């Protein structure tokens, strides 16, 4: 008996040693609708990008917990027309797959063409020009088998399947219905898998807000009929066990099998701050999956998803320590994290005299290819800073925290003074304004900080300390208040009546606290 107890204790200790602390999300900030593929020992993951250009960020990992941004799939206007796109439109949920030496990315450009597919032999690019597809509905996905290429999407709130030509995109068979889900609204995000002789169809239901969930069905035949899992939903935090957690809106996932045979799922969710509000967007999360032969997959032991979980991960998760100082003297200093709103007008972004000159293109609220250059806010607690040169023209220029074209804050300068204001839907806040006296500075530094509850805006004259100009609650820029499918981005902008109006920026500093 004593020896048996010793063995049990040893096994318990071994399990304790092998378990890691998995901190979710694994890709924080505005990174919704993740799709993942494993090729050899490498994992590649893509996300939705909506109205931002370039589109569909692509990440690489060797262990599913530590991810590196390696580029954007859609980096040319010919691949990604975004005329008039807002964060309700543009690129919806992409799927990435690999087959016989080729990577495939299939997605929907809502408002500018519908479903299409691009291919590459290297996930870092270049990716091909779009192959436009006939079957519509959002969130298309691919399945390859026996020389055939199948496509699923959700026209008319029904998961539909057809066969396509992977070289041309031409639809080869009629669209056939597979499943309408379990009765939740918006059955979408379909992915097909085959395991132990079964075709498994994973979908999202409930809408991408609080009631988001994953459900699954299976069939012996790819065309069905599909039998629903009696234990559906297989993932949701909208339940008794998960209702008190910071993480909500769990859904839209994609299974992947690691080289060691273990199964995992990446999926989206969001974190609430300041109550039931989320402003930094739907993020990418990870959970283990138990998938026994011939049985239904079980995600995270059937338990809801928390920000910290004890999981036998493939490798230890490295802590985030992000501080990025970008000198704006060359376009080559801009990494793949930098994005524009819609397709940029190239001549409005000029590197000259060791600075970035941003020419006005109307106003942010107009949503007509505004002059904006920024990046995703990937932590609730951040500090961003820039230095602007005071220009004697009609422009205003500075920093913005941007959720949607009628939901943002601005901290900006002009030759009249420095100002902080915000637009919350149709309402404009009372601006906080400091007018320059006779001594108009040549430059002024602008800084915005956040602790996840409030944004604080500061300015500083040369060789002087920062002074706070004003603050506002982060929740006012949340999806619940101003809408949108993205999450906030932070960056530089110039607003003004004509292209002759401009602002000049020396650097951009982004630091997570």
Residue carrying the six token digits 């009696």: 230
Question: Residue 354 in contact with residue 504, Cβ under 8 Å?
Answer: no
Question: Residue 212 in contact with residue 251, Cβ under 8 Å?
Answer: yes
Q: Which of 197, 218, 209 is nearest to 252 (CA)?
A: 209
Quote the CA–CA distance of 111 and 85 in Å, as a whole number: 7
To the query of whether residue 33 is one of the catalytic residues in this protein, the response is yes
Main-chain dihedrals φ then ψ at residue 4, nearest 5 degrees: -65, -45
Quote the CA–CA distance of 45 and 250 in Å, as a whole number: 18
What is the token pair recorded at 314? 């493939």
Count Cβ atoms below 10 Å from residue 259 Cβ, excluding itself: 12
User: Any bridge partners for residue 219, and if so which?
Assistant: 199
Quote the CA–CA distance of 424 and 200 in Å, as a whole number: 43
Q: Which of 507, 509, 510, 462 is nearest to 355 (CA)?
A: 507
Q: Which of 33, 163, 383, 495 is catalytic?
A: 33
DSSP characters over 418-479:
EEEEEEETTEEPPPEEEE--S---SEEEEEEEEESSEEEEEEE-TTS--EEEEEEEGGGGSH
How far are the Cα atoms of 156, 186, 187, 189, 202 from residue 180, in angstroms, in the given order? 10, 9, 6, 12, 11
Question: Residue 141 in contact with residue 37, Cβ under 8 Å?
Answer: no
Quote the CA–CA distance of 405 and 89 in Å, as a whole number: 12
To the query of whether residue 188 is one of the catalytic residues in this protein, the response is yes
Quote the CA–CA distance of 354 and 330 in Å, as a whole number: 7
Q: Which of 139, 163, 188, 378 is catalytic?
A: 188
Q: In what order do the strands lie in the sheet with 227-228?
A: 188-195, 198-205, 213-219, 227-228
> Which distant-in-sequence residues (6+ apart) come within 8 Å of 191 by Cβ?
35, 95, 141, 152, 201, 202, 203, 254, 255
Question: Residue 86 in contact with residue 49, Cβ under 8 Å?
Answer: no
The Cβ-side half-sphere exposure at 219, using a 13 Å CA radius, reads 11
* Residues belonging to the active site: 33, 188
């Amino acid at each position: 008996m004593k020896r048996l107890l010793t063995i049990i204790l040893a096994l318990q200790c071994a399990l304790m040693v092998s378990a890691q602390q998995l901190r979710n999300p694994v890709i924080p900030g505005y990174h919704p609708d993740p799709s993942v593929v494993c090729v050899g020992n490498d994992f590649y993951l893509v996300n939705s990008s909506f109205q931002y250009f370039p589109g569909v960020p692509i990440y690489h990992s060797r262990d599913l917990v530590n991810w590196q941004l390696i580029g954007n799939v859609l980096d040319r206007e010919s691949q990604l027309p975004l005329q008039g796109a807002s964060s309700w439109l543009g690129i919806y949920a992409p799927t990435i797959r690999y087959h016989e030496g080729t990577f495939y990315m299939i997605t929907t450009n809502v408002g500018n063409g519908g479903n299409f597919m691009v291919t590459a032999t290297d996930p870092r690019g270049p990716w091909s020009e779009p192959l436009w597809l006939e079957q519509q509905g959002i969130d298309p996905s691919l399945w390859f088998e026996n020389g055939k290429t199948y496509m699923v999407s959700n026209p008319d709130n029904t998961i539909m399947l057809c066969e396509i030509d992977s070289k041309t995109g031409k639809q080869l068979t009629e669209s056939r219905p597979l499943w309408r889900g379990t009765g939740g609204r918006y059955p979408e995000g379909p992915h097909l898998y085959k395991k132990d002789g079964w075709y498994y169809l994973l979908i999202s239901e409930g809408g991408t807000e609080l009631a988001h969930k994953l459900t699954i069905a299976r069939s012996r035949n790819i065309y069905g009929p599909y039998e629903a899992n009696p234990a559906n939903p297989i993932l949701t935090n909208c339940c008794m066990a998960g209702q008190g957690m910071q993480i909500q809106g769990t859904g839209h996932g994609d299974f992947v099998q690691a080289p060691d045979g273990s199964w995992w799922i990446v999926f989206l969710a969001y974190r609430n701050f300041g109550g039931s509000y989320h402003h930094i967007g739907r993020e990418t999360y990870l959970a283990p999956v138990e998938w026994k032969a011939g049985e239904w997959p079980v995600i995270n032991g059937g338990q809801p998803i928390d920000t910290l979980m004890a999981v036998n991960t493939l490798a230890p998760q490295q802590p985030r320590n992000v501080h990025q100082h970008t000198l704006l003297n060359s376009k080559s200093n801009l990494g793949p994290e930098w994005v524009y709103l819609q397709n940029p007008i190239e001549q409005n972004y000029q590197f000259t005299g060791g600075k970035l000159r941003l020419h006005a293109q109307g106003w942010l609220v107009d949503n007509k290819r505004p002059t904006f250059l920024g990046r995703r806010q990937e932590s609730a607690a951040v500090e961003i800073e820039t230095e602007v040169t005071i220009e004697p023209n009609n422009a205003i220029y500075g920093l913005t925290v941007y959720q949607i074209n009628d939901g943002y804050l601005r901290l900006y300068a002009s030759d009249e003074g420095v100002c902080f204001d915000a637009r919350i839907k149709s309402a404009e806040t009372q601006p906080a304004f400091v007018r320059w006296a006779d001594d108009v500075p040549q430059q002024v530094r602008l800084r915005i900080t956040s602790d996840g509850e409030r944004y604080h805006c500061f300015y500083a004259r040369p060789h002087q300390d920062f002074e706070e100009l004003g603050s506002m609650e982060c929740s006012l820029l949340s999806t619940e208040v101003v809408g949108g499918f993205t999450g906030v981005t932070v960056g530089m902008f110039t607003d003004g009546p004509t292209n002759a109006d401009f602002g000049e920026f020396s650097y951009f500093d982004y630091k997570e606290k």
